[in-house]
Amino acid sequence: MAMETSSSELKIPKSPVVILMIGMAGSGKSTLMHRMVVRLGSSSSKVYTVNLDPAVKNLAYPVNIDIRDSVNYKEVMKHFGLGPNGAIMTSLNLFATKFDQVLNILSKRAGELDYILIDTPGQIEVFNWSASGQIICDALAVTYPTVICYVVDTARCVKPVTFMSNMLYACSILYKTKLPFLVSFNKIDVIPHDFLMEWMEDFEKLGEALSRETSYVASLSKSMSLAMEEFYRNLRSVGVSAVTGAGSEAFQKAVQDAAVEFQESYVPFLREQRRDLEEKRQAAVEEQMRNFERGMDRAKNKRSRDGASIGELDRLGEDVHNLTIEERDDFMDDMD
Ligand SMILES: Nc1nc2c(ncn2[C@@H]2O[C@H](COP(=O)(O)OP(=O)(O)OP(=O)(O)O)[C@@H](O)[C@H]2O)c(=O)[nH]1
């Protein structure tokens, strides 16, 4: 359901809720996107989707704005001599410099939308610790109620150290973005997530599970588990299966609660910090463009030294400056 804000200052008359899907590779972000598109669509909610993973081959859901339509990550990899992860990061940074175009498209659609679902790359650090993640989160959060959905593969968390790694990631994302946060323990059709709830509610139980492991990571996790109690206490979490649809109702309800939290807790912060956030975002965009120019210069110098042509790089530079983000026509038709 669309949110009404009480703040006329912020001018968000009818606003879709943005759900940013973040999670480790294979946790089920794309499948959960698909599940939610189907579920929300069948309850006549209007859902819009954005894919921010430049390297994904197949998407499980119909996509409205796709980073792959404007940035060719293989070209980025080739021209800058990068490996796959570096190319994903650079591609997303370039896309983020033009994120105002995404905001423009969304603002035209916002009045008719209930949800905007955004899929991010499985290399969490690409989104969480790069300039692009900050630029994109800030751009969305100053405009729409924005919720982070952290997707966890429940089956992989059977190992308590994997669970702890996941939760430390979750904790760092929460503290970095400061946005309402929802942990979705996915794949509960494979294994129910009750044991994870127990570990979060009773750190001694997690301690027992960790005691069965003798690695350094296990003892590190054990000493940290008490400190994580505070984080778990305020954590909103649900169990879902993106494949069977189990837990979808609880998921939807948790998203709504998180959107209410956004209005109650984040909007007051926004009222004070909005200008600051926007200035920081602009500065980050300009810094990314300078990084890109420096990378281009390095690549050109190398090519000149090797006696190779720099024509291709000039064309890439032009493409980046003229980068246009558009929504896909076929899904525009679906929405009408
Ligand atoms: N059994 C089961 N499998 C699932 C579920 N959700 C996703 N999967 C499977 O897990 C695998 C990874 O799912 P994706 O949706 O591609 O995961 P992702 O997080 O988008 O992966 P990246 O794009 O690599 O970041 C696929 O084989 C899915 O079919 C689920 O709820 N239950």
pLDDT per position as a tens digit, 208-224:
888 777 777 777 777 77
- 35 CB under 6 A from ligand 1? no
Q: How confident is the model over 181-209, as a mean pLDDT?
A: 92
pLDDT in tens, 286-327: 998 898 888 888 888 888 888 888 888 888 888 888 889 999
- 49 CB under 6 A from ligand 1? no
Q: What tokens were used for 95?
A: 């896309």
Q: How far is the CA of 222 from the centre of ligand 1 (A)?
A: 29
Question: How many C-beta atoms surround the C-beta of residue 297 within 10 A?
Answer: 12
- 26 CB under 6 A from ligand 1? yes
Of 31, 185, 243, which is best to mutate to test ligand 1, by the most ligand atoms within 8 angstroms of its C-beta?
A: 31
| 13 band by pLDDT with thresholds 50, 70 and 90 | low
Whole-angstrom distance, CA of residue 47 vs CA of residue 116: 6
Report which ligand 1 atom has the smallest distance to the Cα of 242: 31
Q: What is the pLDDT of residue 158?
A: 93
| 1 band by pLDDT with thresholds 50, 70 and 90 | very low
Beta strands across the sheet bearing 65-66: 65-66, 47-51, 115-119, 17-23, 146-153, 181-186, 236-239
Q: How far is the CA of 28 from the centre of ligand 1 (A)?
A: 3
Backbone angles phi, psi at 171, to 5 degrees: -60, -45
CB 238 within 8 A of CB 250: yes
- 28 CB under 6 A from ligand 1? yes
- 16 CB under 6 A from ligand 1? no
| 101 band by pLDDT with thresholds 50, 70 and 90 | very high
Q: How far is the CA of 239 from the centre of ligand 1 (A)?
A: 15
Report which ligand 1 atom has the smallest distance to the Cα of 23: 19
Q: What is the pLDDT of residue 14?
A: 62
Q: How confident is the model over 193-204, as a mean pLDDT?
A: 90
- 193 CB under 6 A from ligand 1? no
Whole-angstrom distance, CA of residue 247 vs CA of residue 183: 13
| 67 band by pLDDT with thresholds 50, 70 and 90 | very high
pLDDT in tens, 167-181: 989 998 998 888 999
- Distance from the Cα of residue 165 to its chain's centroid: 18
Residue 33 pLDDT more than 50?
Answer: yes
The residue ranking higher by pLDDT, 274 or 118, is 118
Report which ligand 1 atom has the smallest distance to the Cα of 119: 20
- 25 CB under 6 A from ligand 1? yes
Of 20, 30, 193, which is best to mutate to test ligand 1, by the most ligand atoms within 8 angstroms of its C-beta?
A: 30
Q: Which of 268, 255, 277 is nearest to 3 (CA)?
A: 255
- 248 CB under 6 A from ligand 1? no
Whole-angstrom distance, CA of residue 277 vs CA of residue 287: 15
Report which ligand 1 atom has the smallest distance to the Cα of 56: 23
Whole-angstrom distance, CA of residue 98 vs CA of residue 121: 18
- 84 CB under 6 A from ligand 1? no
Q: How far is the CA of 243 from the centre of ligand 1 (A)?
A: 8
- Distance from the Cα of residue 122 to its chain's centroid: 9
Backbone angles phi, psi at 40, to 5 degrees: -70, -40
Report which ligand 1 atom has the smallest distance to the Cα of 120: 25
Q: What is the pLDDT of residue 4?
A: 45
The residue ranking higher by pLDDT, 283 or 8, is 283
Q: How far is the CA of 152 from the centre of ligand 1 (A)?
A: 10
Whole-angstrom distance, CA of residue 212 vs CA of residue 196: 16
Q: How confident is the model over 66-92, as a mean pLDDT?
A: 90
Q: What is the pLDDT of residue 218?
A: 75
Residue 167, exposed/middle/buried by CB under 10 A (0-12, 13-18, 19+)?
buried
Q: How confident is the model over 213-237, as a mean pLDDT?
A: 79
Q: What tokens were used for 229?
A: 């109690």
Please state the pTM of the whole predicted model: 0.88
CB 171 within 8 A of CB 228: yes
Q: How confident is the model over 239-265, as a mean pLDDT?
A: 95
Residue with CA at minimum distance from ligand 1 atom 3: 187
Looking up tokens 């080739």, which residue turns up?
Answer: 78
Question: How many C-beta atoms surround the C-beta of residue 319 within 10 A?
Answer: 15
Q: How far is the CA of 27 from the centre of ligand 1 (A)?
A: 5
